Amino acid sequence: MIKKLKSAVVWLAGVTLLTQVAVAALPFPWLDDDNQMPTLAPMLDQSKPAVVNIATRSEVRIQDNPLLNDPFFRRFFNLPQQQQPRTRQAQSLGSGVIVNAKEGLVLTNNHVIQRADEITVSLHDGRTFQAEVVGSDPATDVAVIRIPPENLTALPLADSDRLRVGDFVVAIGNPFGLGQTVTSGIVSALGRSGLGLEGYENFIQTDASINPGNSGGALVNLRGELVGINTAIFSPNQSGNVGIGFAIPSNLVKQITDQLLEYGEVRRAYLGVQMQDITPELAQAFGIEANRGGAVVTNVIKDSAAEKAGLKVGDVVTAVDGVSLLNADNLRNTIGLLMVGQTIQLDIIRDGKAKTLTAKVTEVQSRKIQTGDVHPKLRGATFGDIEESSPAYGRVQGIMLYSVERGSPAWVAGLRSYDIVTSVNRQPVTNLEQFKLLVSNQSELLLNIVRDNQAMFLLLR
């Protein structure tokens, strides 16, 4: 099972032999002055102060039995019509990396701070600060938070494109809430995607020990430069670390961070095609090699970058900027990680002949509405169609709540950012226009929502 390193609970009972042992025989470049033994200590002395522990607190609404939201059921059993929603306090732990000491900017994972009511950052020297969210991007699981810039240490960013399989790396984080912990390993693979963790994936794989609570922590090279943000592990049968961890490359993190700081959101590139994988049968039909990777174009959106570039239905896209594609998901992932306005070369096969097209990708145009005018209980919420960048795209039918103002009626009712509304008053929701019709002129709203892969009901009255 591949899973995000969601949260770490401070649980020490039954923990045995958790000491992390560095492999002393590896040819690390530093020697201890006294014993002339290989050591990473000098590099870590510079790097560890830039890695922080993150604790979040949030109020979680307890899901009631759906029958309790049925007015007929409540009248039949003489239950009070007005009922205060039941809530509980949830806490989680993660990690973060200071990347700008002057501005107090800290990088972490979106899933570490998502829906948190309070974020506390603890520094290596024992100081603690309350943090505010600058911006986040669920599609790549990157978030930027800010703390007071008081005598901070930042990690420099490395060029992750220069990483090679076999390079030594060190993971620094807060596994299981034990406190700052350092583990070492190598880069096991590059460009991992198709794991189903994020909307867009381009992971570094490492065997440096990573565990729950390491989310948002640093993956550094032997120069003490940040090469990635630790995000997920492969853990069969929930057995913990087995030597397969994943980190978001620093170049991708920088690209996302720059957009969050400039725009407050990520402006994602858009080509304007619908695609499907090449199967052996399709390969034969299109006259290409049976084992050739790529994606066949099934639809070209009018006035899109793809149409302007000359792409046609039936074209097989085999490479982007000279990098071969495996399948349709690989093409979508590649385009989604580009900068808006970037010009790319598309290698295609049309009617059995190879061609090269040039396309200038544009920005995704998504429909979003603020729903305060539609229903007073939804004031403060912004809804929209589920974008292709969302992991829920194509898997959940409904509309997405993209933002909700803290303290607004929608917030008080229990709605949170990235909730997906799948039905209103037991009527399925498929698009924004239908949603507006279903909620208008209704005194009560019974919303079925999906949150963190779990379904629940919310009654707004």
Residues with a catalytic annotation lie at 111, 141, 215
Residue environment code for 121-157, b if the CB has 16+ CB neighbours within 10 A, otherwise e: bbbbeeeebebebbbbbbbbbbbbbbbeeeebebbeb
Instruction: Give residue for tokens 């050739």.
Output: 292
**What radius of gyration do the chain's Cα atoms show?**
24
> Which of 296, 298, 211 has the alpha carbon at shortest distance from 246?
211
CA distances from 136 to 28, 76, 79, 277, 391 (A): 36, 46, 42, 31, 15
The burial of 448, by beta-carbon neighbours within 10 Å (0-12 exposed, 13-18 middle, 19 or more buried), is given as buried
8 A C-beta contact, residue 231 and residue 252: no
The CA distance from 74 to 55, in Å, is 39
8 A C-beta contact, residue 252 and residue 200: no
The CA distance from 229 to 155, in Å, is 12
CB atoms within 10 A of CB 68: 13
How long is the chain?
A: 461
8 A C-beta contact, residue 400 and residue 420: yes
CB atoms within 10 A of CB 335: 26
The burial of 34, by beta-carbon neighbours within 10 Å (0-12 exposed, 13-18 middle, 19 or more buried), is given as exposed
CB atoms within 10 A of CB 214: 33
